[in-house]
Structure 1
């Protein structure tokens, strides 16, 4: 099968995938798209939303439709690195045996990652980067594909450990999960207060997803598209000559080179799901908010005047 045929087949399967997810998840179309773009790009995502918006159900449903294993880890202040990575125990024959922790799965939902101390956060973030675990000198490779969706609750910040900017940068997307519309909430209430159940079909498998991830990396990109992505990122840096006035006024720190890399990768995936064989500037703009919003740090003036980070990004585009 040629690369063009693979992408055409992917577009058809992606539409079926969205329909399958929509059996359980009502609305939240852009959120589902950004999670799936992260998966097919080989990145990770940070989901920010208040409790009760079906984050766990969403990730569980997506993992089922992708035919992948799923584990949920509830992060708490007393969670230790060994609780997520695993630990060595002494078995009946008095030999040390490694018991794998919940991190060994294709999809991990790291629930309320800002509730756990930096030591445990760092253990997870290291696994996300290296896609392997080293315990007592033994090296364990994680199965591909590997995707971490970490959630943060934007309210109740007492006793939390916010992720530093350097660690936020490891997430491809920062996704804002908002309240449903009135009609969507009516549909959710009807669907969840009856005894109707939906049979979710797996439309992909791990091997297929890894092949698509490789194909997306091989996609050609025009020089002007790469230059647009790099220019957009460099304009977020207030100390650059190319920085816009709004950035000089309201931004403390801009995005680093990882943002440019992620913009191109996500734009390739966005192009593929829309049946294009190469991304253009439109695809960069479609993914830019989610890629940049957690990498651009507002200053005190922006906080005081209530300037939204998305408004800054949109003005740059």
Structure 2
């Protein structure tokens, strides 16, 4: 427009407030226009918005379906080639609401869902190196009630997805929540968290899941963790007054570390004990009635009432001691 040779100089000295496009010879013609760019070559930007409403009722061979939906789409893009290097940035948002009621061969299903999707992307060709960075978020909510014969099933679910990618590095997080109940008495509830990262071409995962169900006939609960290290922290310490957070229970590299434990009953096939085992009963003078020292191979049995009287069983024999004097010796 800057080089017009006819029509005066209105295009140069005036502000263009609107444009009109006549694409057909008659009224009522319909055309799809993907995009329109106005400006100088080199840098372009565009944005679009779409809001669509749909209502539909269908009947085919006795099957009825009633559907209502609303879809909102927003998109913005920038293309920059002013420096001779291709750079594109885009952002999009999608929100879909759907309700549907169907009746097929005696089965009636009512469902509602909402899906929200957000995505941002930058393709950068600066310095002659192509780098793509993207992030996305997805939220899906769905409720469904189904009636089939005498059985009514009700369920609801929610899924959240987060993803980021820069070059060949990426991270992802997904949460899934689901509840189900029916008139036959079956109920279940579950919550799952999944995480993953891609680093240097390798993929790593972690997560946990919690579930409660009576599908097997008895109520069962599960808590499953996928992690290289799992720890329980004691958060009752007063950190403002010098307290420190401690961990009474840690699982790391296939080993379990317990700081202190009270075990009512234990069945142990093989035990590797590093130091000693002591009885929970003490003498009147504060010593364990019985102790096993696994470093020296010695078993000590104290007289509960009188200090200085004890028996020793070790690799070289059995000894009964009283007041520092060996009263009985069975040497090997």
> Is TM more than 0.5 here?
no
Q: Which has the higher contact order (CA 8 A, sep 6+)?
A: 1
State TM-score, norm by structure 2. Answer: 0.19
State TM-score, norm by structure 1. Answer: 0.20
> Is the radius of gyration larger for structure 1 or structure 2?
2
